[in-house]
Structure 1
Amino acid sequence: MQIHFAAAVLASATIFFGQAAHAQTGPTAAVSAPPTATQPVPAIATVYPTPAAGLGPRVGRYFQSRWAEDWSRLRNRPADAPRELFDPLKFIPIAGDGAVYATLSGENRVRLNYVTDPGLRRGRDQDQFLVRTVIGADVHLGRNLRVYGELNSAQVFGANPLAITPNQRNALFVQQLFAEASGTIGGTLLGARVGRQEFMDGPPILINIRPAPDIYSVLDGVRLSINGTKARATLFSFNTVRLGRHAFDDPTNPDEGIDGATTSFVVPAFAGAKLFFDPFVFRYHKAAQRWGTTVGREHRSFYGARLWGTIGDGTIDITALGQGGSFAGRDIDAQAVFTNLGYLLDKGALHPRVGLHVDVTSGGGAYGTGPLRNFNYFYAPAPYFSWGVFFGPTNLKTVGPNFRITPAKGLTLTTEIEWLRRSNEFDAVYNNQGNPYAGTQRVRGKDIGELLRVDLKWEIGKHLTGAIWAEHLRAGSVLTRAGFNDTNYVGVETAFRF
């Protein structure tokens, strides 16, 4: 997508989004949540909840993507207001009037991954320790311009860590480095960002920074955004990053990239519902994609929409999309539907919540002729299907009822049983990297197995979080007849952030 074309579209859309903004609040967009003494406000001024604004989720008091934080409220804090240990690093005045300032951030994460029979084959258990240290700086040059950068140093240890990839061990990685300009025209907030950046502005089942490894999935390119109060849009053009293992050897990868547009509209309120409708269009290309035994050039289009939000004590999140294009001279015809529902049973001490996700992704054609029907999920979040990355959303059907309680403040416990089937029995079963389990394409049937999952998360303090994940896979007939077996995964993580 050409930048000048995207800019023209963005400018012409200002009229519509500006009218939407004036319709609700006049010339100034509201913040999604009032500032508090313990957490930053979102970096984008919008009435949208923060995930809908393309900022990503919070982890404890902080955002998962640290560029999304705005600490400027500390500029005019009363002298007698309570102070926290790291407050002096959150607002460092550079110019006398405080319009030019810097914010520093950091993270130190330690994670254990333990897997029995890695790859679902009999063998020595995997014992892997991942360690990452991230330091970030956000320099504001007045109200309308800023530069944000992050460095990440990542290491991996263990008695049997198996194959070590560059997203697990990297001496020093420029994780983010971008310049951003923003301003308000007629009540509409416009923004332009250029450089390496984390990007989660789209359906979370497709676009995610994948925080489980040491190195986040980041992109190089341009993002243009427009935010009103009832509608917003983002245009983007990115390439992926080719990771190395040493310091500063991670260049832009011209052979793989994605561009497109995401939009979001507030659904008119009814019966206590707060819903959002998010249409999107992506274009993806990769010079050397592999499906089955064929390696070829892939050009793939994504077109679909997401409907999500709350209805009373219930939550709804549905994403449906189709994919077209070409792979190695063959047509692509793929589809997917992801449905995630939840309901709060009681507002008492335990806050019990029941949920259900039902997901269907197409498959077929990787080992034959005719159209390729395998769904390509780009940067989908692996934990949605398996913390042990046993499966990914290609040629997959899942049904996963779950139950969650809050035994104590900041502590949540979630259990789930996930039934896994494949959509096309003439295609393989795939892991979350899109790699097939060898031989499963020659075994008939659809039973992949069942996955029992337990997830415990704890906000230990303002700066410290912890989590434990456990999974047991009962391998179904498709896997066992192809020579694969049951496996277990345990993950333990603690992270310190400031």
Structure 2
Amino acid sequence: MKAITTLFFGIVSCTCLAQETSFKQLRYDENYAYLAKDTSANWYNRLKFQPVSQNKADYLSFGGEVRYQYFHFDNQDWGAAPADKDGFILTRYLGHVDFHAGKHFRTFVQLQSSLASGEAEKPSPVDQNLLDLHQAFVDLMTKDLTLRLGRQELSYGSQRLVAVREAPNNRQAFDAAKLMYGSKNLKLDVFYSYYVPAKPNIFDDGFNNGTQFWGAYGAFTQIPVVKNFDIYYLGIHKKAATFDDGKGAETRHSIGTRIWRTTPYWQYDLEGLYQFGNFAAGAISAWTLSANISHTFYQTKLKPQIGLKTEAISGDKNYGDGRLNTFNPLFPKGAYFGLAALIGPYNLLDAHPYFQFNLTKKLVFSADYDLFWRMNRNDGLYAVNGKVIYSGKAGSSKQIGRQLGGALEYTINKYLYLRQEITWFSAGHFLKEAGPGKDILMAGSTITLKF
């Protein structure tokens, strides 16, 4: 802790001297080559750009992250989990080194340590993974093409389907081969990968062939009328998959499109996709539609924003009919409906109005209200990781409940970020039919230091 505190004050003290560039969610997307022209004696700039050749074409760049989170739940899992009066702490450490050899070769290595303390039950590997090789890949580059080989994070679109899983304690990765093409108005990725499941001990996240994941994702920009247009195909094969309708091998294909645009005043994100394939001895037919539309009063002092999100996500129509209609969100962001992460995007219909405003340039308040229903009665309620929380056979009501959340975010500078969040979930009829059905109250605090 002393070392982290020293690092923090060292970074803050040199902020006024450092040239500014924003940190990326995908840290391998950061580029510090511009510091080759830096002539200052700033130690932080040397950390981000350390030349290893006389012409400075070959260089090393170092970076990392420390994140502390505290959570307290009343009636976790709607009263089904053991009571925990003291709450628990999650800590995540990330550190990376990025080596560039000219314009055509690059390698990136990142370690991750995720720790959990104080949980009433044994923490899952998503909460606790003591130390592991999170990313290790090489890039072979030409002007427009990059071939990336090795363990890497994947993230596409709005992260509804493929995400780094930023909110949970342990980010996710894939052992993959990916070919990337980039031009002024098009980015196209084609990849084949194996998912890396998290394990709790030291350097035990080895190669695993239990889940294969492949696909192609194209993002077009500067399109008339719609502005931005994504189209994609994603395929997955799991040796062992579980849904409310049964267990078995799953091969699923997803074809979808996304239209989105962001202006100072209006923002919209519309997405739809269809899934087909095979599960156990039956066929798959599933779908989802989503919309996120918001308006920002840009010229108003606090720049308030109001918006509405809504999603329709298919569920299974009938038990034992040899046809699975449950949508599979693949590898979504962990906090799909807020940091509490109570419900996953399966068999779901939700309406989600929200608003936010800037109290100052660095302090933002946001609030949202979510209404949840099961899409179909003959399918269950799922967690974010796909685990069946309650079978559809446990109750007949479609009403899951209502969720009210509020958050205060303070960005001190580009290095340090604070967040306080509170969530109240009012259990609906289905939760009361299927289990204890108690209301949940969650409070969470986050502090993140990046360098």
| Fold match by TM threshold 0.5 | yes
Query: Over residues 358-404 of structure 1, what are the superposed CA-to-partner deviations in whole Å (9 max), with x where a residue is unaligned?
Result: 10100015743231011100111232323212111100001011011
> In the alignment, residue 254 of structure 1 is paired with which amino acid?
N
Give the letter aligned to residue 169 of structure 1: Q
Contact 2:394/2:433 (8 A) holds in 1: no
Deviation of 1:75 (Å): 0.1
Asked if structure 1 preserves the Cα contact closer than 8 Å seen for 2:18 and 2:42, the reply is no
Listed one character per residue, the Cα deviations across residues 397-423 of structure 1 (whole Å, up to 9, x for unaligned) are: 010110110101122111011111111
Equivalent residue number for residue 237 of structure 1 = 192
Count of matched residue pairs: 432
Flag the 1:387–1:245 CA change in 2: closer, same or farther, 3 A: same
Partner of 1:50: none
Alignment partner of 2:395 out of 427, 430, 443: 443
Structure 2 unaligned regions, length at least 5: 1-16
- AA in 2 matched with 1:145: F
Equivalent of residue 137 in structure 1, options 83, 97, 114: 97
TM-score, with structure 1 as normaliser: 0.83
Per the TM alignment, residue 428 of structure 1 is displaced from its structure 2 partner at its CA by 1.1
Match of 2:410 in 1: 458
Moved more, 395-404 or 436-445: 436-445
CA contact (8 A) 1:422 1:448 kept: yes
Distance, in Å, in 2 between the alignment partners of 1:427 and 1:116 is: 27
Residue in 1 aligned with 2:447?
Answer: 494
Distance 1:171 1:437, change over 3 A: closer
Secondary structure of the residue aligned to 2:359 is: strand
Whole-Å separation in 2 of the counterparts to 1:39 and 1:282: 36
Q: Could you tell me which amino acid in structure 2 is paired with residue 66 of structure 1?
A: R
Residue 162 of structure 1 is matched in structure 2 by: 121
Inter-partner Cα distance in structure 1 for 2:349 and 2:288: 10
SS of 1:458 mapped into structure 2: strand
Pick from 322, 339, 357 the counterpart of residue 370 of structure 1.
Answer: 322
The 5-angstrom pairing of residues 41-190 of structure 1 reads: 61-77=22-38, 79=39, 85-121=43-79, 123-125=82-84, 127-158=87-118, 160-184=119-143, 189-190=144-145
Counterpart-to-counterpart distance in 1, 2:312 and 2:249? 26
Match of 2:10 in 1: none
Distance (whole Å) between structure 2 residues aligned to residue 38 and residue 294 of structure 1? 55
Q: How far apart are 1:461 and its partner, in Å?
A: 2.1
Native 8 Å contact 1:440 1:479 kept in 2 = no
Q: Kindly state the Cα deviation for residue 439 of structure 1 after the two structures are TM-superposed.
A: 4.6
Percent of paired sites with the same residue = 27
- The alpha carbon displacement at 1:175 in A equals 0.7
Contact (CA 8 Å) 2:151, 2:176: kept in 1 or not?
yes
| Deviating more after overlay: 363-372 vs 196-205 | 363-372
Instruction: Provide the aligned C-alpha RMSD in A.
Output: 1.9
How far did 1:468 drift? 1.6
- Relative distance call for 1:37 and 1:265 in structure 2 (3 A) is farther
Q: How far off is 1:440 after superposition?
A: 4.2
User: Structure 1: which 5+ residue stretches go unaligned?
Assistant: 1-35, 41-60
- Pick from 357, 371, 374 the counterpart of residue 405 of structure 1: 357
Q: TM-score, normalised by structure 2?
A: 0.92
User: CA contact under 8 A between 1:130 and 1:213: conserved in structure 2?
Assistant: no
Q: What is the CA deviation profile of residues 123-162 of structure 1, one whole-angstrom value per residue up to 9, with x for unaligned ones?
A: 413722111211100000111110000111221111x342
The amino acid of 1:39's aligned partner reads E
Runs of 4+ with deviation above 6 angstroms = none
- Structure 1 residues 494 and 312 mapped into 2: Cα distance closer, same or farther (>3 Å)? closer
**Deviation larger for 482-491 or 276-285:** 482-491
Distance 1:171 1:418 in 2: 35
In the other structure, the counterpart of 1:53 is: none
* Cα separation, 1, equivalents of 2:91 and 2:325: 38
Matched residue type, 2:20:
Q
